[in-house]
Each structure stands twice: as structure tokens, then as C-alpha cells.
Structure 1
């Protein structure tokens, strides 16, 4: 060992886990505050526009940072406590007792007792792969699960070594760190999916054409969601590879049988993948190594470390205990295979989504109340997609390469269109300032008059400004009212003559025309739908249709000749009623 390096044992590893857990919780709060601030921008512009994160960060922090922190803590605790249930539902883990699986539960309880761990729940995953996992802690929130293939392929000593390894993760605090990281990632993804101020579609660039301050708001919101995701992924990478080496050492210390653990690793190597395993690879006994993007050390390194650690305990030719028998392999009748979710949201063999799930709409949000299982499947698909998307190559602003061209084009157009004639950068910044947008929304909310041009502290419109209001009240005074002081009508007419005409109507018309041209080029179907154009179906366009005789209207029934029978809908029904009458 090099001089100055400290040996990493159980005490050091447990202390590192406590510090790692604190960092994860701090990162969680930071990510939640970051995305939550931008997610609240839209409603705050309506109800409290002067205290948004972009218009007044200090005012926003004083008013909303603490309540948002309390909400984030409650959500964190809820997801943290439900981690085991989420994993059990995702992998279809069946809870078992000593009556169901006597061999597995007896060995697992023995190892938990030896390590001083309160026995958690136990479960079995009905797959042929060889693997095990541990999640949560305690009898209520903890879970140790093994695959059916592991129970069938390992003898008692090998199974005891694997279960001692899994139980040591609970004792060392690894499961707490993983549950906290799960809560961090899940919340970051949930906020990202439901954040309306992230740039995901080029159609969002239509908004800044009419409201330029929304351009920095959208870019900042997209960058905030990307930063929060990077914080969550950085916390996941902080899960050290040494945790598996520490758990292997604890398993050797408890079983005094290093050969059994080495033999189990040799059997499990490369045989641990099953449907959905990639999503919980940090919880597995054997998973992808750090070279493959995982969080496990290579199996060869683990075997070498176990051999070096337990060389004195190895006894060649030691007899193994094996109580497996035909009775332990029990067929499960009536179990429906998990094919519905795979057909609805296709995934690869490791559970990676093959296509992006639909974006959140009102109909999908209503599924939370009308069809909770369908909503959970969609939510899990969104979570998997945003967690694993590595092919979109997003930059620091959260923009994909295909979104760079629309964003840059709209930004260049707005800069040219709104560039001041006097080349004043302050006026340009005022045009794109979110604070100005917040003031405008506040004037709309409070029914205040606003001025176009230089603003003054007293709020009055003086030389070179035009006054207006968003109110539904009449903007002009009644010049015939006897309550007005003398000369008021003449002053109003003079102010209207002196003030320059507003350029807002012309700009809105130009932008409206640009919008129509853009829709005709990039979204012709949406433009047709907007204009009410209905096209014929493809099956009806290729062949001529026979003209169907139109049914006579009720008003023309009395015009039929007497000999013509009445329409079937008006024919008298036979006597005796309908349901239950005798057939003649």
C-alpha cells in the first residue's frame, strides 16, 4: 500500500456513506429548487408576476424558497420510503415466507442475524438469470430478492455467501444511499417532464416571436432542467465501486468460506441480465462494470480481491452443503407474462426504451384518476426515457442538435427586428428583460395603465409616450361629462396629437404573417386544421363513390303519396309490445 493512503474498511466505508447521503440530499434539494423555480414561473406570472425567479430572485427566495423546500422534503421522504415497493412492482418480485421458500428464507435469516441486521422482506424473481438484489432497510421498507435461476444453480454455501453480501449492504448503509439517489433522479425526471419552460419542440419558438422576454425564460428553463439532471447523475456516479469490495469482505468474514463466494461469482458472471435489470443495476449482486457504464467492479477484480483477503481461510477440497431438491423447483400456474407493458412502450432486453413516450397532455394527466395502471406505465416509460437518453446529445443549455437551428434562427431574427435605431444596448436588454414582462403581467392583473417608451418613477406618461391599458374599461374619458374640470378635453386631444402612433399593431400583424408563413412551410397539416380544411380520407380519394339516396326528412313525410308505405322508423309496431311478446 502506498504511503499516505488510508485502508478502507467497514468504519471508513460507513462514514463515507453518511457523507455521501448528505451530499445526495443536498443535491436533491438544489435540483428541486432549481427546476421548481422555473416550473412556478408560468403560474407566478399570472398571480404574482413581480416575484418570479427571473424578475426578482431575492423576492422569490423570500416568498417561495422555504415552502418549496418543505414540499421537496415531503416528496423526497415519500419516494425514499417507497423505493422497495417501486422496485418490486417494476421487476414483478413475489414476496415469499419460510412456508413458500424454506431453504432460501432460512439461509437469508441466518445471515441477517449474524450481521446484526433486522430481517427485511424476502422475494423471488421468476426468471432464469442468476442474480440477487437488496433495496431499503428494516422489516417494513427493506427487501432482499433472488432470481429463480440463482436458487436452482447455487448450493447452500454459495447462496449463503451471496445473501451475506446482500445483507452487508444494509448494514453498511449502501441501500440508504441508493434509495436517496433514486428519489433524487425520480424527482428530477418528474420535474423535467412537467416543466413547461423547457425547449423540446420547435413550435415553442413561436412564443418569443410575440413575447420576446420568453426567449431567455425558455432557454434558462431548459438549462435549469439539464443542470438538475446532471446533478442527479453526478450523485449516482458518486456511488463508489468500493461498496462491492466491502460487502465481499463482510461476506467472507461472516461465512469463513471464501471459496463459496468465488464459486458463486464464477457461476453468476455474465448470467445476471434479465428484463428490467439495467434499470436497477446499482442494486444487483452482479451488474455492468464501470467500464460498461455501470457501478460494479469487474468480476475478475472481485475474485482477485477475495482470494487475496481470504487466502488463509481457503481449504482445498472442503465439502459443500447442498439441500436442493426437486421440491424446491415449484411451477407457478396462472401467472400472466409481462407482455402488455412491453407492447405499449417497447424496450430492449435490458429495459431501455426504444422510442420516446408521448409528451404529457391533459388526457394523459387525467389517466391518474381514470386509469392509474396506465398512468403508472406511462410515467415509468417517461422516467426510463429521460434517465437513459444518451443519443440526443444535449448541450449545457439542454438543447438537442435539431433544436439549435430553430433557437438560433429565432434569436437572430429577434435581435435584428428589435435592434434600436440609436444602438442603445440598454434598450435592447429592456426588450428581452423578463422583469419587463413581469411588470406587464402585473399591470394586466391590477388594471394599471402602461406606457410605451421611457418609464418614469411617478408612473405617468409624459412627452414622447403613449398611454394604454389592458383593461376592458373605456380607455378614453367622456368629454361630455360635466364632472371633468375645464380644459380636460382639450388636454386629452392635445396629448393624442403630440404622442407618436403606437407601433404595436403593425408589429403584431407582421409577426402574425410570419407565423402563417412558417406554419404553411413547417406544419401544413396544423394550418389546415386551424383554417377548418377537412381532407378526404385516403380510401375515398382513389375511387368514385356511389351517390347514396338521402333519407327523407321528417318534414316531407306528409308529402309522400298515399300508396307509399311509411318509413321503417315510423311504421307501427305490432301489438303486444316489443320485449317478451309471443312469436306468431
Structure 2
């Protein structure tokens, strides 16, 4: 395979993941539309409930959009590193972040370090101008420069791909579904019903059917929304993996880093279920190596490494054998 085929491979992967992400958003929009239409007809309120739910969801998300990164960094115990004059132990980190910032054509993000022996990292911030990248001391101690470059390339890709904004969009849509579903179920519980009298016009049977459909959808729509939200999270993780190769031109470094983080037995003490989706590898180590569930925030490590292996093959880069197996980077 010629060298010129390499960009085609990871650009194709990038396009595929972006397309899948927007298709998933489309699914949420369709669910919200169906739910709003059925509930609007069943209650006689029309589309007013959907509009109100979206407004409330947006209002609830504004605080998270502007202040969420500070809360995440504070709750993680992250300390900012002065990039102008970093301590000796963080000079390589700052150097790699600067390198990836230039490669990605994005502003230099703030750099933070979390004092924890478990290797991991995450990026946060509403846009490239307000981005932060945080890594643990364990990651700096346990990785060589090639692996560190792969990790920072992944996190810089989250910044470059505006993943925080994308997650906010999905969150608003899913939140709107949850709000309108909850309202309708409470409305029904307290004896609410359609305000006009379709029975007089012979539409009682249709009204009853649509009311039942609205009730069923109100129960299952929040679950569908959550499934899609998690699927989007998995898709954006794969997108960041592939985009990292666009920055580093080295799929092996990231693959080795993923294997190192996954195999490490240390528990990231500062992580919790509210922040687990931010990290490059899920720090809540309760999932099987090859598990693939609709409830997972990340794709299986073996699957992520196999995608990088395919890209390496197209690039003509030697890839360590069996790296998709636990313990193969030791």
C-alpha cells in the first residue's frame, strides 16, 4: 500500500464517526418530535410542551456550559501547570501539549496535573479558546514520550472537534425528552387528559390509541435518549482516537497508551460516574475487557486498538502483535 493511502484511511474513519454522531443526534430529534407530537395531541397542548421543555433544558445547561470545566477540574484536584516556566518534571508534558496544539491549529490549552498514581487524562472546556487538558502524575510516570504524545493527541482532538459543545447539544435534546416525559407521566397520574372533546366528533378511539402510544413512548423515550447519548460518547471517543493519528501520524503510540492505561491496576480515586465519560479510558474499572454494552461510555479497548491497527497497516507502520490483548504492552 502506498504511503499516500494513509491519510485516506484515517480521514475516512473521521468522516464515518462524524456521520454516525450526527445520525445519532437525528435519532434523538425524531424521538423528541414523535414524543412531543403524541403528547401534544393527547393533552391538547400542541407543541407548547416541547418548546417549554427545550427552553428549560437549555437554561439548565447554560451553567454547565460556562462553569462545568472549572467544577470538573476542581473536583478532580487538578493543579494548573505554568506553561511559561513549568517545573522540570512537567517540561516534557508542556512540550508535547505545545506540539499537539501547533499540529492541530488550536490555541494552547491550559495544562493541569492530577496527583494520582493511576494513569489517565481528560480534556474539558467549552471551546478551543477556553480548553484545559489534565493528566495524572501516574500517566507521566508510566508512559514514554510516544505514548504521552498519543494521549495528548487524543485529548487535543476532543478540543479540536468541539466535543464539549456536541455533548451539550445531545444533553439538551435528551434532557428535553426526560422533562416532557416526566411532565406527561405526572399529568396522566393526576388525571389529566385532552381538553377538547373528540368523543363528540367520533374521534374517541383514535384519541385513546394515541394517548396510549404517548404513554408508552413517555416511558421508553428517556431510555432511548440515554442509549443514544452513550452511543454518541463512544463515537466521539473513536473519533478522537482517529483524529489523534491525524495529529501525530503515529497510531502505535496511542494504541500502546490505551493498553497501558487499561492494564494498570491502580484505581483513579478522584473519578466518579459523573466524570467517567471525560477520561481517555473509563476509570471506573467495572467493565470486562471485551464488554460492549449500550450503557458503556467508551468502546472496548480491544476494538479501539484494532481500528488503530488497521490504520497502521494502511500507513505501512509496524504494529506490535497482540496489542489488543491484555498485558501485551508490559
| Alpha-carbon distance in 2 for matches of 1:66, 1:259 | 48
Structure 1 equivalent of residue 245 of structure 2 = 252
| Alpha-carbon distance in 2 for matches of 1:30, 1:90 | 38
The alpha carbon displacement at 1:127 in A equals 1.7
Give yes or no for contact 1:14–1:173 (8 Å, CA) kept in 2.
no
Structure 2 equivalent of residue 158 of structure 1 = 147
The alpha carbon displacement at 1:159 in A equals 0.7
**Equivalent of 1:169 in 158, 161, 172:** 158
| Alpha-carbon distance in 1 for matches of 2:50, 2:245 | 48
| Alpha-carbon distance in 2 for matches of 1:153, 1:263 | 11
Structure 1 equivalent of residue 100 of structure 2 = 111
**Equivalent of 1:57 in 34, 43, 64:** 43
Relative to structure 1, is the Cα distance of residues 263 and 223 closer, same or farther in structure 2, using a 3 angstrom cutoff? same
Structure 1 equivalent of residue 318 of structure 2 = 314
CA RMSD of aligned residues (A): 4.2
Structure 2 equivalent of residue 84 of structure 1 = 69
Structure 2: tracts of 5 or more residues without a match: 1-10, 194-211, 321-330
Relative to structure 1, is the Cα distance of residues 267 and 196 closer, same or farther in structure 2, using a 3 angstrom cutoff? same
The alpha carbon displacement at 1:162 in A equals 0.8
| Alpha-carbon distance in 1 for matches of 2:33, 2:138 | 40
Structure 2 equivalent of residue 291 of structure 1 = 292
Aligned residues: 276
Structure 1 equivalent of residue 258 of structure 2 = 265
Relative to structure 1, is the Cα distance of residues 141 and 230 closer, same or farther in structure 2, using a 3 angstrom cutoff? farther
| Alpha-carbon distance in 1 for matches of 2:234, 2:189 | 44
**Equivalent of 2:302 in 300, 303, 317:** 300
| Alpha-carbon distance in 2 for matches of 1:126, 1:28 | 42
Name the TM-score, length of structure 1 as normaliser.
Answer: 0.39
The alpha carbon displacement at 1:8 in A equals 4.1
Name the TM-score, length of structure 2 as normaliser.
Answer: 0.64
The 5 A counterparts of 1:309-388 are 309-311=311-313, 312-314=316-318
Give yes or no for contact 1:120–1:138 (8 Å, CA) kept in 2.
no
Relative to structure 1, is the Cα distance of residues 184 and 123 closer, same or farther in structure 2, using a 3 angstrom cutoff? farther
Give yes or no for contact 2:184–2:218 (8 Å, CA) kept in 1.
no
The alpha carbon displacement at 1:128 in A equals 1.5
**Equivalent of 1:274 in 231, 245, 268:** 268
The alpha carbon displacement at 1:187 in A equals 6.8
Other structure's SS at 2:46 match: helix
Other structure's SS at 1:310 match: helix
Structure having the higher Rg: 1
Q: Which stretch of the first structure deviates more once superposed, 108-117 or 251-260?
A: 251-260
Higher relative contact order (CA 8 A, sep 6+): 2
Q: Deviations 1:71-96 (Å, cap 9, x if unpaired)?
A: 44333444344442343344333333
| Alpha-carbon distance in 2 for matches of 1:189, 1:68 | 9
Q: Deviations 1:312-364 (Å, cap 9, x if unpaired)?
A: 23399xxxxxxxxxxxxxxxxxxxxxxxxxxxxxxxxxxxxxxxxxxxxxxxx
Give yes or no for contact 2:54–2:173 (8 Å, CA) kept in 1.
no
Identify the structure with the greater helix proportion.
2
Structure 2 equivalent of residue 126 of structure 1 = 115
Give yes or no for contact 1:128–1:147 (8 Å, CA) kept in 2.
yes
Other structure's SS at 1:95 match: strand
Other structure's SS at 2:292 match: helix
Q: Deviations 1:430-488 (Å, cap 9, x if unpaired)?
A: xxxxxxxxxxxxxxxxxxxxxxxxxxxxxxxxxxxxxxxxxxxxxxxxxxxxxxxxxxx
Structure 2 equivalent of residue 9 of structure 1 = 13
